[in-house]
Structure 1
Amino acid sequence: MASVKHLLKTTQNLENAELKQFQQNLEEDHECISKSEMENADTIKTVDKMVTCFGRDEAVKIMVGILRKINQNELAEQLENEHKQVIELENLLKPHKTNMKKKAEHIFEGHKETYTDLKAVYTELFITEGDMTDVNQEHEILKIDDALKTQKSQDKPIKCEDIFNELRKKNEKKIVLTKGVAGIGKTFSVHKFILDWAEGKTSQDIDCVFLLPFREINMIKNRQISFHEFLLRFYPELKDLEKSQLYTESKLAFIFDGLDESRLPLNFNSRSLNTVEERSSVDVLFTNLVKGNLLPSALVWVTSRPAAANQIPARYVGLFTEVRGFTDQQKEQYFRKSIREKTLADRIISHIKTSRSLYIMCHIPVFCWITATVLQHILIRSSEEKISTTLTEMYIHFLLIQMNMKNQKSEKCGIDVGKDTEFTGMIAEIFKKENGLYEKVFSFVHLSVQEFLAAVHVFICYLNKNMRELQFFFEDSQSSIKFHELTKSATDKAMQSKRGHLDLFLRFLMGISLESSQNLLEGLITQTQDTTESIRQTTEYIKQLQNNNITDEAAVNLFYCLLELKDHSLYEEIQSYLSSDEHPGRKLSSSMCTVLTSVLLMSEKVLDEFNPKRFTSSQADYKRLIPAVRCCRKALFDGCGFDETCCETVSSALQLSDSHLTELELSNNHLQDSGVKLIYDGLKSPNSKLEMLRLSRCKLTAQSCESLSSALQSSNSVLRELDLSNNDLQDSGVMLLSEGLKSPNSKLEMLRLSTCNLTAQSCGSLSSVLKSSNSVLRELDLSNNDLQDSGVMLLSEGLKSPNCQLEILR
């Protein structure tokens, strides 16, 4: 709140004695402020307490009154005048705040005629601080395996309303940059921030917030314009406001949404601008605002898809965040909010959960909307419980639903419905020419829709023998091709892409080729073709590739291609590997190890025991299998060549709400202390169910004992068995462990410390544990250590204690 800074400035102008006199009057005159609260309060705490108790305006009145009472009339008059100016400015800005509220409170979900009340459907998204390293190397398409990545233990969730608060903790002179794939909820987050601000709920230290979508900025990109003129183009209600009031007296926040849609030629070495009156091209205005040359006290927030985020140099970014979409709990919240009828919502949620691949993909909010649209349409019209679950069938139904509405919608939007606009029902937003700023802009609901329509187009071109349109897939000109030749070429092209931009297209192309899909598209596809033999050859080609050492991303995508083709043979083979207690007949290839992990993560099956050595003997492949730790009760990763990066995966698995892991064997791996520190994050989680942990021969020192001791002292730890043998823990490590063992929270019953370079000093530490009334230790292994007689004597003292529960000592 603008007046708060004036309250603070006023108190800071008081001498120490004057401040004490002010505080004394404050506590004497007002019951809600106690003497103890004012006793050591500085100016910031004093002002905070006043604003909390009285509100801003009343706090100003009270401060003015007390200042006059203690003969600080000049300060009182100055504060009164400053507050009047703030009130006057706020009144002038009220139309803008109302305008921003209108912009933010409704957001489009699908077609423009059905804007949705943001409050009704908004579901909190998972946003976390990200890393600007290699921001342009991520896959831009909706990838199931991305959603399978578990949350890192160090990830700290950030609420959208706290974006600028987090920036202040780092460097307010720089900007916030938020990345996220298409449809993940970046624009929703921006609108929620603006709505909360406009309604006076959060960020009230900001006087003016401006939403500036790059899609609209593109319309004036070639004009020479001053920053003030630029702002008035978007917000003409500010035209009567004096520039000094807006740019000097106000705290401003600019939100630039959708950098990936920008057509501005960004050059951060362009000329400097220092005033809002100086004219330049729009790209120069933007870069100078980001660099802090223009309006250096303003807050700036830019959102972007990953591939475009690196257009902003890292040196100008104070806070880099990533929108990760919905967690499993948030998915269900979204469906219940957007589908008001409880019975229908229950049926849809239940159906989505039966298709794990669809359920996982719903971490992207736009896909939640597409799924809800399709399933509501099908279930309302039919009581049939068995519904199509492939990705392609879901998008075909979505296309058909939209096409059924296209004539009515197109007439309303002023689009000429003709041959070239057959898919207008799929178009997300249409900007009509308005006030000379907008022109018609067409964009897809989500990038995946574009991939789907591309696959439909390619299949129609194949049916019509339109080879010119298919030249991308064939180097040599051909008069005709077989369908399996097309899918083979498309598969090869997709596998060559480092960023996987053809992965989803390939899945759709496979799915559309099925006879059932062609029948659904009847009317759009004027002729159908029996592709049975081509599909058989395509599946054989994919299976051959799966036996080669292809990339992990390609392996998973090809597996989903088979599912789109309704070929479940590979899936069933993997299930047989998992269900059999016997050693499989053959080792899995690297790509098949990746697929096996993917299958486990997709299914809701929990294995009693998972031993990677049943499937492969390659250490590189063991690492591909470690994510499966979240799908089993007992995991045996002894001597698998693991390092600390694998511990991060383990730690994340322990923190999951549906964690099942109770026994973990990690002995004979190069984990080191850094790896154990990561595991500690998992052990202290309230979700951890781990009871047995074996870390023998893992290159550990006393530092690991510090982490494990802290874990034993956590009220959440359920660890009962710990093997630390054959590590260089030394006496200092045992001393640290003993502190944990004496904790009333420790549940550890068995501890193995064989061959850990221990002396009699360790016996003294452990003896104190045995004497503790909190210890539940029943089994202790100290073999192969240089304890000597003095150590045994120290231990015997603990063994005599009435509190000792030890039953086995080695």
Structure 2
Amino acid sequence: MASNAEEERFSDDEEERKKRQRPPSSYGSMKSDSDEMKEDGSETAEDVLQESQCDQEVAGVFNRPAPVLPRGEEVGVQLNRPASPETLYSRTTMQTKPPGALVLETGSDIECCSEEEDEDEVLITNSPEPPEPIELEDEMQMDDHGQPGKMHPEQDLPHVFKTIQKALTDLNKEDLYKFKLNFNLRQSSDLSLKQMFDGDLLDFVDRIIEMFGLEQSLSCTIATLENITKHEEAALLRANCKKALIRFSLMTQFIRDCQFVFEAIPEAGKRARLDDIYIEPEICLCACGGVDSSHEFRSPLQAPIQSPPPGSAVSLVNMFRQQKPDGRPVRTVVTTGLPGIGMSIAVSKYCYDWAEQRANRDFQYVITLPFSSLWNLRDRNPPDEMSMMDVIEYIHSLCKSKTYLDDDECKYLLVMDSFDCYRTPLDWKNTPIINDSHVPAKLDDLIVNLIRGTLLPNAQVWILGRPAAVSQIPSQYVDAFTEIHGFNQEMRDEYMRKHFKPELGNRVVQRYKQLPTLRILTRQPFICWMVDEIFAYNYKKYRDYGQEPPKVTPFYVNTLVVQTNRRLEYYYDQPPMCYNWSKDDQKMLIGLAKMALKMLEQNTFEFSEEDVKHHGLDVRDVTVLSGFCTELPRASSGKRRFSFIHSTFQEFMAALYVFTLFREESKNALEQSKGTWFTSRQQPVKTSAGLVQSAIDLTFASPRGHYDMFLRFLCGLISIENNRTIGGNLYERLPFKDQALYSPEVKELLRKTIQTCPADRKENLEECLREMTQFYN
């Protein structure tokens, strides 16, 4: 009977304790800073400690485990929250084991104590003197890529939690009631009144952070305090969480701007999620020029192109994990690549991953300073002198504080994209030194000092731009030089399959591999997108599509048009989709095409600044802004050298010059003695068949592969479809009846030549014929 009475007494005590039990908080180790909000009859920390010790004594008497609180049965609202770092820390450090003591875990199932244990053994649950804090090596300190990513203490969850809790603790009961009602009006769709008023203040802060996140909870708390006229409390909360608010504003901007992207040409209603379409290209720690030396006919040894050495690859997230020879982290990293290689989308991916806290969380801030925005700021009339902090605030209006970057322990990144958009050269020798980020100066001087490292020396700087633009930066100011090399074969296939259902994606991949030139060209993500879109469209439109290999000329024609339109938009401020090719634009393209033909005749793939000037062209316009050329690593003599983005594009431009001269002036640029450039002595040519016959003769008289692609492009340019694309841009569009006069006689010429040509030339002539006869790409 005595035993039954004891068991009933134990059961009653347990039920009573359950009723008083407060719902556990994810941040339970955070103690309230005020006693004003305690309700009558609430438990204190000493009550809980005494009750826990009593439970253990009862467990020891009856030789049974300490009572375990059933999860989910407490009084109040129980939220399923993951254990926070603070809770884990409390469980680890709130217990010690003095010599000869047995520690009982009262919050978990424990095996029954043995009856043979010494009666003198000391039983304790909490140590009066906690041990030294230990740093837990848990997954909270690592990002998605296994990198150390611990956030700054003033921006992390514990600081924001305690600051919000302290601001609300200072309110009296009436103001707190008004605050909760007002907060509920702002978030009525997600938070009910019952959830708002259940539990104590810690429960409330815990709940709103869990439901809305740090950023929204903090901003709504400040706005609500302002709304109930608690301006001092709101200002104090804003000041104490200044760094977190600036970080949140930058993250919000990146998520808004980078979550969805337009591929290639922006088109209303057609955008994709960045995570759904992004494939990280190959990035190498070297400057090779980025030009692929492979060719459908020519040997790669004929092209003066270097290849990246093995082991030089670096991932995007590790861009600033590199180290200098002295072991310190790099400060300034320059990244370059061909036009359309994916530099801008790589910046978007880097910033978006930081905003989503997937990578590089140890950066307190990632601040973008695109050179296009800097140029617009400089180009104001009249230009104003500004401090570096004024420039940052101009581009990021929410970053109002002037001192948040001055802390020596502040680690942040400045991303400066599109260096080629800054149209004026920088004076690296005579620019005065500026050390203070709050001193007004000319924008050119601020940029030079920022790259030098004299201005904002704690910042890490990432500069991106086309090779001919970033080559002006002195090498002593660059810690690491990286180059984006585009997609390898596996990346191209993955990119194309991600856009469509598996069946259609596999058909697109299989089709583009039918043509060696397209396999080479799709190394550039921009061309890969173009191939993807055209093939998928045709597969959906034509039932019999895919039986014949694709044509190649339309892809080069579209590259010419799109890159020229981009040049007009990015560098000459023409509104999108309203492009107008001026006489100067046409003259530049024709001059560039003429230079390409001369290079083809001389069997060279590179040209110099003198070659550009010889054809009456502007060096910067050709090598930086055109989108068709790139700068190669300098020779031992230090002389600058350039090339087209690929040798096949050089051959296409040469064919474009020959065709345009025939179309506009009825002249044949190929009727000349070898080694003598075009002069006025050329004889007029009356038919397109005569022009193609000259190209065929030149091809047969040259080594195999030297003019084969040139001939293929020339035949493709004569076809009606490609004339429609270029017509109206490079030259006036002809009536349809006149366009049709070009191709019939050329087709007949090709058919006759195929029957009598050498065997090793037959395959390319059949490709030339298909460029003119095949209806779709």
What TM-score do the two structures reach when normalised by structure 1? 0.47
Structure with larger Rg = 2
